[in-house]
Amino acid sequence: MPVIKMVNQENQPAGELNLSDKVFAVKVNKHLLWEAVQSHLLNVRRGTASTKTRGEVSGGGKKPWKQKGTGRARAGSNRSPLWYKGGVTFGPKPHDYQWDLPKQARREAIRCALTAKLSDGELLVVDALKLTAAKTKEMAAVLKKLNPAGKTTLVLGEKDDAIRLSGRNLKSLRILNPENINTYDLIDCDRLLITRSGVTKVEESLSR
């Protein structure tokens, strides 16, 4: 059973915490991590890019000039892709990029991500995190003590409006709740912060 040293929001020692083997000590499957990240990135794509073909562009009903005798190349429509304001050849069309992994695969990928962060020394458990007011300056000060530089993902045990409002303007901070964590957000950070209650909720969810 892995053991991790906890800190308070001042980054001072706050005891130790035993972590679940089923969540923080699994065999890391790199290919599964890749699939989970690709699935997340594809699922957030809107796929709404669209261009008009020559059949969708308005106009073009009349032949621009007669077939022979003008000395110019033959032309049947001024909406040809070769013409200015003509249609687009092989342009993008609305497309569904959705790629869903099985539920068990998604859950295992999250376990792999948590295990990898722990083994790489990029996981930090905070005993508790409280702010006196919903102020970005106060949240930035706490974050500076816990992770001076780089991107940070913070997993809370319960919803906290003060923390959420204080951190939403910090570009280097991403705040999650246990019910909406995903592999991409766990990996795409330099430091993963989880509150003690967050660890409990995550273990309850992923140990089933």
60: left (phi over 0), alpha (psi -120 to 50) or beta: left
| Token pair in block for residue 87 | 């249609």
pLDDT of residue 119: 93
The residue ranges of every structural domain in the chain are 3-45+100-206, 46-96
| 13 contacts 4 by C-beta, under 8 angstroms | no
Q: Residues near 105 by Cβ (< 8 Å), separated by ≥ 6?
A: 32, 35, 36
Q: Residues near 84 by Cβ (< 8 Å), separated by ≥ 6?
A: none
Helix %, strand %, coil % for the chain, to 5?
A: 35, 15, 50
| Token pair in block for residue 21 | 């083997």
Please provide the CATH number assigned to the domain covering 3-45+100-206. Answer: 3.40.1370.10
How far is Cα 165 from Cα 51, in angstroms, rounded to an integer?
Answer: 39
* Residue 71: HSE in the Cβ half-sphere, 13 Å Cα cutoff: 0
pLDDT of residue 160: 86
pLDDT of residue 38: 96
Q: Is the pTM of this model over 0.85?
A: no
Q: Strand, helix or coil at 23?
A: helix
What's the average pLDDT block by block, 10 residues per block, for the chain (208 residues)?
Answer: 89 90 94 96 94 91 92 93 94 93 95 95 92 90 86 91 90 91 94 93 88
